[in-house]
């Protein structure tokens, strides 16, 4: 069993790359569970709504971080850890690195505080690989708008932040990847979906994650 996390700005192609990997796992008859943060359990999805909705009261930065961590603790206990124990792969759309990037980088909460809360919420569980789809803020906005127009969805509370916020988030992701190269893979999200998938497969094989 392996725990693979996908990170990157909104619209960077996380869902698309996850879907491609899932097809490959199916082909190889490897059991997996697809999940996301914030969310992944009924309670965590309720917390997700409290975090991302634009109507209703908005949390302050510290409350926002704690809501993410509460949803994460439930997610780890109820879904991620049990699935891994049962031998399944878990593919997760965002995890601890997003809290470091959005609440640490974007909201400028002290990084050591975010790390401490991440450790508490996960009980120390770490991904076998964190895949960062690195994309410029400009391109991220373009893709989000394209997708929003296509399915009539409007931006959530975090997506609505200024470009300067998303730039800090991007730089934090890159910094985290540089600080922990052996557990991260940085992909240039401007590549085609097919190239990105081939790059991911190659690294999964080189690192003996998928053999
Ligand atoms: N490699 C790519 N090149 C060009 N466009 C892409 C690529 N991957 C995905 N897209 C397009 O960009 C948009 C966002 O892709 P996707 O939904 O996979 O991103 P995401 O990171 O999951 O976004 P979100 O965080 O909002 O869920 C979609 O319209 C998708 O078709
Ligand atoms: Mg997605």
| 80-130 tens-digit pLDDT | 999 999 999 999 999 999 999 999 999 999 999 999 999 999 999 999 999
Give the pLDDT confidence score for residue 148 in this predicted structure. Answer: 81
Ligand 1 site-directed mutation target among 12, 16, 195, most atoms within 8 Å of CB: 16
Please list all protein residues whose beta carbon sits less than 5 angstroms from ligand 2, which is an ion.
14-15
Nearest ligand 1 atom to the CA of 6 is: 21
What are the tokens at 201? Answer: 């497969």
User: What is the CATH code for 3-206?
Assistant: 3.40.50.300
Parallel, antiparallel, or unpaired for β 89-93 and 3-8?
A: parallel
Q: Which ligand is nearest to the CA of 9?
A: 1
CB 94 within 8 A of CB 25: no
Residue 29 CB neighbours (<10 A) = 6
Q: What are phi and psi of 16, to 5 degrees?
A: -65, -45
Nearest CA to ligand 1 atom 25: 10
**Residue ranges per domain, the chain?**
3-206
Nearest ligand 1 atom to the CA of 133 is: 21
Give the pLDDT confidence score for residue 192 in this predicted structure. Answer: 98
Cα dihedral 172/175/176/182 (nearest 10): 150
| 144-188 tens-digit pLDDT | 988 888 888 889 999 999 999 999 999 999 999 999 999 999 999
């Amino acid at each position: 069993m392996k725990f693979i996390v996908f990170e990157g700005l909104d619209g960077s192609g996380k869902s698309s790359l996850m879907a491609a990997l899932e097809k490959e796992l199916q082909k190889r008859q490897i059991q997996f569970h697809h999940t996301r943060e914030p969310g992944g359990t009924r309670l965590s999805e309720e917390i997700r709504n409290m975090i991302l909705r634009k109507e209703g009261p908005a949390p302050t930065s510290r409350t926002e971080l704690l809501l993410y961590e509460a949803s994460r603790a439930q997610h780890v206990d109820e879904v991620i850890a049990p699935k891994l124990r049962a031998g399944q792969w878990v593919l997760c759309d965002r995890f601890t690195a997003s809290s470091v990037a959005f609440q640490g980088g974007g909201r400028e909460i002290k990084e050591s505080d975010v790390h401490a809360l991440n450790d508490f919420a996960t009980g120390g569980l770490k991904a076998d690989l964190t895949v960062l789809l690195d994309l410029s803020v400009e391109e991220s906005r373009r893709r989000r708008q394209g997708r929003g127009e296509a399915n009539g969805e409007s931006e959530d509370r975090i997506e609505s932040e200024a470009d300067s916020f998303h730039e800090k988030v991007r730089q934090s992701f890159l910094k985290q990847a540089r600080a922990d190269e052996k557990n991260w893979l940085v992909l240039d999200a401007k590549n085609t979906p097919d190239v990105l998938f081939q790059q991911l497969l190659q690294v999964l094989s080189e690192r003996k994650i998928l053999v």
